[in-house]
Structure formats: structure tokens, C-alpha cells
Amino acid sequence: MNKIYLDHAATSPVHPIVIEKMVQSMNRIYGNPSSIHSIGRDARKELDQSREILAKSIGAKEQEIILTAGGTEADNLAIFGTAYARKNEGNHIITSQIEHHAVLHACQKLEKDGFEVTYLPVNENGVISIDDVKKALRDDTILVTLIFGNNEVGTLQPIKEIGDLLKDHLASFHTDAVQAYGLVPLSVDELHVDLLSVSSHKINGPKGIGFLFQKKGTKLSPQLFGGQQEKKRRAGTENVPATIAFAEAVKISEQTIVEKVETYKQFKETMIEILKNEEIQFKLNGHEKFALPHILNISFPHTDVESLLVNLDMEGLAVSSGSACTAGSIDPSHVLVAMYGEKAEELRNSIRFSFGYGLTIQDIEEAAKKTAKVVKRLVK
């Protein structure tokens, strides 16, 4: 059976050129970039070159990039790092109800540790209101952390506007751009963000590598201690091959961004058109325009998500929904809860399709038809 991978927002296949680059680098260099000998220096040189590519991709400087083991670590470093570095200045943090768990659970932990956290609501398209940010902002707010593009429904937040709003406020502004990176051009200067998280494995790079942008002068207390790496902001020997591969993935991503956005837009339209032609009852979750191009979250009334997921998997379609909770069963998505409320039927019948490298329009047509077939069978 032809398996069609429609879960690129969860993780993405590594691009063949990236694999080649990573394997080559492992063959060629093995030194520790902190070592003083020539073998160490070779590694340092390539690491720095890669870091430059990463920095440029968001309009940052090399020194502003802290390499991490991925998006979750970058988010955690931004949140805990800011909270503990600035706790003498204030005790209040603003975030939203639709953050990735890497942000949400970090904020909940800070709440337990005595910080005060405001979780901003969203409208039914999943958008935060700038007015709500204004209202929540206090003199003792030390951090505002908001997701750039939501990973479940794809809605984009008005990060630039909020960045402008916060320009003259003491709070550090962090955005989790893991899902948007590579699909939306990001410039940290334009956005007026102080901290920004990114991950490699969402853009066809290897897993286990990501970075946090830390604007020069932004206070941050390290969360890992040991060596002097990353200018003492993140101890641990750098993952050189993964960083080199990550930089390669970034290069490819930048070269193809226009094409990708166009293709995924077409995928979305095709999928929707086929479902309509098949006379399937469905509803889109998220925002029609203000959204990431590769995420399509659809609610199928009168179906059940647990049945849908398994049936689609048995048809060879890899899709997802919400987040797997303990013991593999599906927890209602906190994002959909924030959009529709606790009781909404969308919580029980929504599926996320997410597009990426390697998919063809034929795959999308097949996927849409198979989805229609399954939904027709399951509708009660």
C-alpha cells in the first residue's frame, strides 16, 4: 500500500542532500570545537560557518544564536532563562492558551514556583487579540511568550504588532517560531522580538538540534551548566554534524520557500475541493488567510477522532490530531478547547493534515479520496 505522510508538522523527513552533508561531516570532522588543537579548530570552523547561516536566516548575528537540542529546549531556555534572570524586576508572565506544550508546561511549572502567569484567550479562529495583550500587560511583566504560527491549526499571531507594542516595555518578548520557520520569512528586527525558538527537524533537518535567538543585551540565565560552550549560555559539547546538517536544511529551505508556499496552498485547495466534490460534511479549523500554508485542520462532524485516525492509518495515511496523551489515547486538543470551549464537538472529530517535502499533488488527491471514503463509512 502506498503510504502518504501528511504529518510534517509533527516531524519531517530529512532531505537527501542534508543526509549526505551530515554523513560527510561525520567522516571529515570529529574534533571538539572547544579544543585548541588543529582537529578541534577544524570542527570550530565549520560550526561557526553553520551558525552564520542560521543567524542570517532570521536576520540575526552569530553571537545571538544559542544552539540547543531542539525546539523544546529552546523554549524552555527562553522561559526559565528569562524568569530566573529577571525575577528581581517582576513576577508576571504573559502567554496564550494555544501555545505548544513546551511553552505551556514550562509556564505552568513557573506558576508552581511562584510566578504569576496570564494565559491569553483566542477567538474561534485561534487568534490572540492585541487588546488582550495590552490589558494583560503590567509594570511587573517580565516576559511575553507567544507562538508565531500554531502547530495544530496553523493560525498566525500578530507577532509584529505585539512586538511593536512591547518595544517600550521592560518585558522580554519571546516567540516560538518552530512551526513557522522555513515557511514564513522571519526577521527579528522587524518583529521586535528578543527571543525566538527554532527547530531543525521540522524543516527536513536532523532531529536533536535547534536554536534560540537571543537578542544582544537580553537577560537570560543559563539552564545547563558545565563547559563554556555557547558563550556560557548552554553548556555541552556542540552537536557539530547536526548543526552542519541543520544549516544545510536552512539553505535548501530558503531557496525553496516561495515554491513551497505556492505548492502547499495548492494542496490545501485540492484537498478541500475533493472533499466538497465527494459531498463530505466538514469544517475548517483555524483562520482562512492568516495561517501557515502547510497545516490543514479539518473537523468532520458525526465522526470520532480515534476511529478516524486508526482508519486513515490503515489506509496508509499518516495524519494526527491533538497530542497523544498518556497511554496513547487522544487528549482533546487544548488549542481547540481555547477556540471552541470544552464541550465543542470539534474536540472529538478534528484531524490535522500537514504538508511537506516529497508530497505530490497525486498524493494529495489520493489522500483526499481515501479520507472521503473513510469519513463516509464512519459518519453516524
Partner 1 sequence: MQEVKNPANTRVVVGMSGGVDSSVAAYLLKKQGYDVIGIFMKNWDDTDENGVCTATEDYDDVIKVCNQIGIPYYAVNFEKQYWDKVFTYFLEEYKAGRTPNPDVMCNKEIKFKAFLEHAISLGADYLATGHYAQVKEIDGETQLLRGLDNNKDQTYFLNQLSQEQLSKVMFPIGHLEKKLVREIASEAGLATATKKDSTGICFIGERNFKEFLSQYLPAQPGNMVTMDGEKMGRHDGLMYYTIGQRHGLGIGGAGDPWFVLGKNLEKNELLVGQNIHHEALFSDQLTAVNMSFTTTKPLDTIFSCTAKFRYRQEDVQVKVELTPSNGAIISFAEPVRAITPGQAVVLYDGDVCLGGGTIDEVMKQGKKLTYVG
Residues serving a catalytic function are: 325
Q: Based on the shown chain and the rule CB under 8 A, indicate whether residue 378 belongs to the binding site for partner 1.
A: yes
- The three-state DSSP-derived secondary structure of 191-218 is HCCCEEEEECHHHCCCCCCEEEEECCCC
Q: Which is nearer to partner 1, 105 or 138 (CB)?
A: 105
| Rounded-to-integer distance, Cα 195 and Cα 146, Å | 11
Q: Which amino acid is at 16?
A: P
Of residues 273 and 306, the one with the C-beta less far from partner 1: 306
Smallest distance from partner 1 to CB 93, Å: 22
Task: Between 27 and 326, name the residue whose CB sits nearer to partner 1.
Answer: 326
Q: Are 84 and 222 in contact (CB under 8 A)?
A: no
Residue 63 interacts with partner 1 (CB under 8 A): yes or no: no
Q: How far is the CB of 194 from partner 1 (least distance, A)?
A: 31
Pick the piece of the chain touching partner 1 (CB under 8 A) from 139-147, 168-176, 304-312, 339-347.
304-312
Binding to partner 1, residues 230-259 (CB under 8 A): none
Site string for partner 1, 257-296 (x = CB under 8 A): ----------------------------------------
Helix, strand, coil content of the chain in percent (nearest 5): 45, 15, 40
Q: Which of the stretches 138-146, 151-159, 198-206, 305-313 binds partner 1 when contact is defined by CB under 8 A?
A: 305-313
SS3 116: strand
Q: Residues binding partner 1: what is the number (CB under 8 A)?
A: 14
Distance CA 78, CA 296 (A): 29
Q: At what angle do helices 240-277 and 38-56 cross, to 10 degrees?
A: 30
User: Quick one: 36 or 327, whose CB is closer to partner 1?
Assistant: 327
The residue (of 262 and 306) whose beta carbon lies closer to partner 1 is 306
Strand order in the sheet with 65-68: 65-68, 210-214, 195-199, 172-176, 141-147, 92-96, 116-120
Among 84, 101, 259, residue whose Cα is nearest residue 182? 259
Cα 371 from Cα 318, distance rounded (Å):
11
* Residue (339 or 374) nearer to partner 1, CB: 374
Residue 272 Cβ vs partner 1, minimum distance, rounded to whole Å: 25
User: 176 in helix, strand or coil?
Assistant: strand
- How near is the Cβ of 329 to partner 1 at its closest, in Å? 4
304 binds partner 1 (CB under 8 A): yes
Residue with cell 502547510: 294
Give the contact letters, 306-335, x = binds to partner 1 (CB under 8 A), - = no. xx-xxx-xx-----------xxxxx-----
- Rounded CA separation 111/312 (Å): 39
d(C-alpha 115, C-alpha 117), whole Å: 6
Name the minimum Å distance from CB 145 to partner 1.
23
Kindly state the smallest distance separating residue 325's Cβ from partner 1, in Å: 8
Which residues here bind partner 1, judged by CB under 8 A? 304, 306-307, 309-311, 313-314, 326-330, 378
